[in-house]
């Protein structure tokens, strides 16, 4: 789950990619996501992507030895800074660092740094101290929910977005049967079957609710229905799903919403033959 990328879709990278060779703190790129502050469970994995758009550094015509790293800041429940850690991705290398980097940044991935007293953390990407991707904020929330449906999807920037639906879930089963009528023979003590089933195909259709989300989260979740690649995470594995056209938004208050989506598995689940 730490190495996942999709290359089959055209992406809009105009706001997330620059060709200038001179790195300054003002020329920072963004993470490949439009997700607002990430609400995440303390045991969740998470992946984010960023672009290093040039192999040069600080105006040099040729690559020089540089470090590519992440800066991790952790905070307690009162907002006090607990620690600042540097996580090295590539160190003292003169190789071409150009490209897209997919980085595991969830609490489960960073368990060596994120302890039980961490309530919030921020992460950014740098090259030799100059910012490549600005700070992204993660807020740790461990709610008591029986239903957790975690979706991951390819966003319009080519990165991976994730969200856990914690509201009501409804499961419907669509059943398609193929039958024929048999000719009834001589009388028997047990009645003969005329209508006989020779094929059964079933399909599970689910409708899930987000729980209460903010206006920014609601707007960002619209990218889920537009994504060509959507998955649910089950026991650490990604299962491909297909979203239907049933996508609804309920306004609860001025800045509170419920978002509901309907999905089905993107492959045949059961085919039975008699």
pLDDT tens across 193-228, in order? 778 777 777 778 889 998 888 889 988 888 888 888
The contacts of residue 80 (CB under 8 Å, 6+ apart) are: none
Do 112 and 201 lie in one domain? The reply is no
Residue 203 in any domain: the answer is yes
Do 30 and 95 lie in one domain? The reply is yes
Residue with tokens 């306004």: 251
- Contact call for residues 63 and 56 (beta carbons, < 8 A): yes
Do 124 and 78 lie in one domain? The reply is yes
pLDDT tens across 97-152, in order? 667 788 899 999 999 999 989 999 999 988 777 777 788 999 998 776 666 788 99
Half-sphere exposure of 231 (CA within 13 A, CB side): 20
* CATH at residue 83: 2.60.40
Range of the domain at 42: 25-142
Do 33 and 134 lie in one domain? The reply is yes
**Better pLDDT: 48 or 269:** 48
Q: What is the pLDDT of residue 202?
A: 75
Do 134 and 192 lie in one domain? The reply is no
Residue 100 in any domain: the answer is yes
- Contact call for residues 70 and 101 (beta carbons, < 8 A): no
Q: Give the integer Cα–Cα distance in Å for 104 and 241.
A: 23
Q: Give the integer Cα–Cα distance in Å for 244 and 234.
A: 20
Specify the number of domains making up the chain. Answer: 2
Last residue of a domain, one of 127, 142, 157: 142
Q: What percent of the chain has pLDDT over 90?
A: 16
Last residue of a domain, one of 142, 176, 210: 142
Question: Which bin fits 158, alpha (ψ -120 to 50), beta or left (φ > 0)?
Answer: left
């Amino acid at each position: 789950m730490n190495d996942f990328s999709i290359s089959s879709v055209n992406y809009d990278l105009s706001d997330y990619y620059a060709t200038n060779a001179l790195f300054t703190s003002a020329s920072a790129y963004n993470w490949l996501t439009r997700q607002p502050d990430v609400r995440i469970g303390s045991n969740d994995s998470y992946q984010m992507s960023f672009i290093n758009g040039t192999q040069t550094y600080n105006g040099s015509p040729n690559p020089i030895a540089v470090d590519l790293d992440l800066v991790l800041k952790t905070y307690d429940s009162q907002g006090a800074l607990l620690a600042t850690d540097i996580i090295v991705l590539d160190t003292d290398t003169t190789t071409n660092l150009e490209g897209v980097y997919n980085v595991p940044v969830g609490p489960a991935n960073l368990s060596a740094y994120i302890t039980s007293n961490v309530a919030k953390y921020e992460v950014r990407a740098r090259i030799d101290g100059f910012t490549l991707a600005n700070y992204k904020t993660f807020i740790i929330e461990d709610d008591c929910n029986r239903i957790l449906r975690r979706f991951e999807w390819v966003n319009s920037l080519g990165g991976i977005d994730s969200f856990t639906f914690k509201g009501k879930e409804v499961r419907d089963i669509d059943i398609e049967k193929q039958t024929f009528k048999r000719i009834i023979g001589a009388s028997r003590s047990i009645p003969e079957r005329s209508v006989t089933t020779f094929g059964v195909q079933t399909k599970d259709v689910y409708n899930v609710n987000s729980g209460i989300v903010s206006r920014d989260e609601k707007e960002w979740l619209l990218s889920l229905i537009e994504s060509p690649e959507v998955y649910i995470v089950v026991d650490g594995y990604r299962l491909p799903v297909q979203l239907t056209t049933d996508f609804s938004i309920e306004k609860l208050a001025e800045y509170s919403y419920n978002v509901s989506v309907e999905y089905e598995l993107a492959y045949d689940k059961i085919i039975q033959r008699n």
